Amino acid sequence: MFCLFLTAISLDQRFTWLLEEHRRLIVDKGWTARAAHSRASASVVAMFLGMCTAWVLLINLMPTVSLTEVFQTVLDVTGADPGGLRTRVFANPLSTLVHNLGVMGGVVALCFVYRSHGAVLVLAWNASSWVVTLSTLTRGASEGAALSGWTFVVAAAAAIVPHLVLELAGYVLAALAAIFASKALTRYDWADPVIRDVFRSFTLLMTMSAITLAAAAVVEAALPALVFGQMWGGPP
């Protein structure tokens, strides 16, 4: 867990620079809020993918036993069992959406208080938990499947990664909304016209976040069952 805080500290300045770039694009260069939000979101996702790459390189050097021992806390939180893809239960869209919205609320609260540091901490936790969970679930899970080796890993990733990417995008949008609102409330008076603009941006970002998380819930309920049904000859 300590390495997550170190990651957040090391990338905090970079994330702050991305937020400043977002402000310059709107104020100095006249970009629309939607275009600036899209660019900022893409930059944050790129940062997240870099974190994931580092975790993938680390975990590929570790045997399964060491993986489950070192990252037991992560596995307990995510509820992942080694080789558990075949018996993994992917919930219905409604319950998944409720869970996603709850996580979104936590992200908003954390980023509203801690701003960029809170956002980077969220990214670091998700990068580690997603990579550790996927690695744990796929190792040894190919037994009885129609595919094996890297072919199985690619197919499993195709089933699981899409809804994770959508969830990430939703959480990033919510984090940006919270940070913008937090900075505006401490920088401007309530009567300042800028507050109205920030509120509109906050509403837009939160709406986009909710829609993205709803899409993630639908994909999570449908895609894994479809792919794993083909791999094992029936629902997982």
Read off the tokens for 54. 């580092």
- Number of C-alpha atoms within 13 angstroms, CB side, residue 57? 6
Report whether 16 contacts 43 (CB < 8 A).
Answer: no
Looking at residue 192, its amino acid is D
- pLDDT by 10s per residue, the chain, length 236: 556 666 667 788 888 888 889 888 988 888 887 888 888 888 888 888 888 888 888 877 776 656 666 676 666 666 555 555 555 556 678 988 998 999 999 999 999 999 988 899 888 888 888 888 777 776 655 555 555 556 777 777 788 889 888 998 999 999 999 999 998 888 888 888 888 888 888 999 999 999 999 999 999 888 877 776 666 554 44
Is the pTM higher than 0.85? Answer: no
